[in-house]
Structure 1
Amino acid sequence: MREEMDRAYDNGGFIPGAADYPPRWAAKAEAFRDQLGPRALLGLPYAAGDRNWLDLFLPEGMPRGLMVFIHGGYWLRFDPRVWSHLAAGALARGWACAMPAYTLAPAARIAQMTQEIGAAIGAAATRVGADAGGPIVVTGHSAGGHLSARMACEDAPLPGPIAARLRRVVPISPLSDLRPLAQSSMNDKLQLQPAETLAESPALLARRAECEAAVWVGGQERPAFLWQARLLSEAWGCAWHVDPGKHHFNVIDGLEDGTSALTGAVLDGL
């Protein structure tokens, strides 16, 4: 079973040139931050932990609202500065974009990461004034898709005024049911126990009715990710969109472009 689950969730093993993506992303992210200059507020703390910080990117003029992007990496690796450039689409539409770091496994359990993301959203929203009336939208990719979906659940750890302004979540290629991950070799570090898989799986939890949701996934992703996306959309009764020809590593590219269908799914109508 473990070998079967490892294969099911092995994205890089089925994407040509997979190893080239992280350095390419990191180079684009660094160039984006440099170009943005003083509108890139880096390393803002939201709690006391070493990884409890976020980067906040501001548009020209007063932000229309706040988009939060949560990075992936199976809760085990990376930090948000690999994907800073994905804020470009939101900024082009006049939205601020926050990208939080969070404590990774095995130093933290997924339940702790959920709490940290809630705190990060509250801190970022307060910083840009979204707690005074502007809308908040949360998106994220893969493990970040899981954490973005958790923010729409009825038990999400968001302060009341912030939760009231969370208008939409758009999980991208999310891990919505953690039970299969507990049977993979990743669980040597994740240390998922049965109770936690139930408590932290968005597809097994109720969504707040006032928070919209839409699920996005690439058409060329592993079958397990197509299943995870469809499962969440069915459990929550929300739309899901299969992006033709996109795999797990390029399905997020649309966030760079303010006119893309993905950016539209995140921000249109708000």
Structure 2
Amino acid sequence: MIRDWDDAYANRDHIPGADDFVRRWPEEAAAFRAALGERAELDLAYGEKPRQVMDLFRPEGQHLGLLVFVHGGYWRMFDKSNWSHFAEGALASGWAVAMPSYTLAPEARISQITQEVTAAVEAAAGLVQGPVRLAGHSAGGHLVTRLVCRDSCLSEDVLERLERVTSISGVHDLRPMLRLAMNADLRLDAAESRAESPVLREPLEDVRVMAWVGADERPEFVRQTTLLANIWTGLGAEMAQVKDAGRHHFDVIDGLREADSPLMQAVLG
């Protein structure tokens, strides 16, 4: 039985050197953008609000398709500029990568963030031809799976191009968030927590979904990943699940930097 729900979802408190990851990411991301030069198209607007912007990174040569990566941070931290270097593996594989920012809680509710990410995917798909892949980490994992529920607001054109979705350490049942102190920012109530939980909704047909999690993560993140895999499999989704041995919440995404990593192969297919 969980008695301390805040601790159950506290990643930094249980990962040695966690703050080093958070400090290092913006530096590595900035260096990566600088090295790409003109192949990095920055701050492309997909809406009118300040954070409704995205970066688009293009590979050398012909594009094979588009990957949209949605960042995490419990829907209330970070922006696109922290994650640019995690486009490395997809770019090396010939895929363009879009990374959107979105309005954070408490300014936006999670249902609003879902709509913003929908708009970002639509805008990115309008700039790059070919198949579309979605991937998200942590809160981003929630958002990309939310976009492939049956009530998705993605256009028919994008859904026809969308073949694979990968949730990396995602939170798929938002009801536990009601018990956390951070809900002062999220402002979830019982109705919204149910409405925005992918595990309480039916998945779209014909989309392959990968639920990926570090085997050394907090038990709640492993449970949340297994929950999605179990429930959506029972609803007819083409599901797969991986528990990545030796990985925790902050290094589980490192495989996105390697074209031939198991994670990158799962994301792109």
TM over 0.5: yes
CA contact (8 A) 2:141 2:169 kept: yes
1:180 aligned partner? 176
Q: How far did 1:151 drift?
A: 1.5
1:193 aligned partner? 189
1:145 aligned partner? 141
1:170 aligned partner? 166
* Normalised TM-score (structure 2): 0.96
Q: How far did 1:22 drift?
A: 1.2
Q: Give the alignment of 1:32-181 within 5 angstroms.
A: 32-128=32-128, 130=129, 134-181=130-177
Give the aligned residue type for 2:249: H
CA contact (8 A) 1:3 1:184 kept: no
Helix, strand or coil at the partner of 1:86: helix
CA-to-partner distance for each residue in 1:208-235, whole Å, 9 max, x for gaps? 1111101100000000000000000011
Give the aligned residue type for 2:162: L
Helix, strand or coil at the partner of 1:127: coil
* Normalised TM-score (structure 1): 0.96
Q: How far did 1:2 drift?
A: 9.9
CA contact (8 A) 2:138 2:168 kept: yes
CA contact (8 A) 1:90 1:258 kept: yes
Give the aligned residue type for 2:245: P
CA contact (8 A) 1:2 1:185 kept: no
Q: 1: distance between equivalents of 2:228 and 2:120? A: 24
Q: How far did 1:191 drift?
A: 0.5
2:222 aligned partner? 226
Helix, strand or coil at the partner of 1:6: helix
Unpaired segments ≥5 residues, structure 1:
none
CA-to-partner distance for each residue in 1:4-62, whole Å, 9 max, x for gaps? 11000000000001111112111111111000000000000001111000000000122
Unpaired segments ≥5 residues, structure 2:
234-238
Q: 2: distance between equivalents of 1:159 and 1:51? A: 22
Q: How far did 1:159 drift?
A: 1.6
Matched, 1:212 2:208: yes
Q: 2: distance between equivalents of 1:8 and 1:43? A: 35
Give the aligned residue type for 2:252: V
1:31 aligned partner? 31
Count of equivalent residues: 264
CA contact (8 A) 2:25 2:82 kept: yes
1:246 aligned partner? 247
Helix, strand or coil at the partner of 2:267: helix
CA contact (8 A) 1:173 1:215 kept: yes
Moved over 3 A (4+): none
Q: 2: distance between equivalents of 1:32 and 1:3? A: 42
Q: 1: distance between equivalents of 2:212 and 2:113? A: 22
**Which deviates more, 172-181 or 18-27?**
18-27
Helix, strand or coil at the partner of 2:42: strand
CA contact (8 A) 2:173 2:224 kept: yes
CA contact (8 A) 2:2 2:8 kept: no
Q: 1: distance between equivalents of 2:45 and 2:155? A: 17
1:6 aligned partner? 6
CA-to-partner distance for each residue in 1:101-144, whole Å, 9 max, x for gaps? 0000000000000000010001001011x3xxx11010010000
Helix, strand or coil at the partner of 2:255: helix
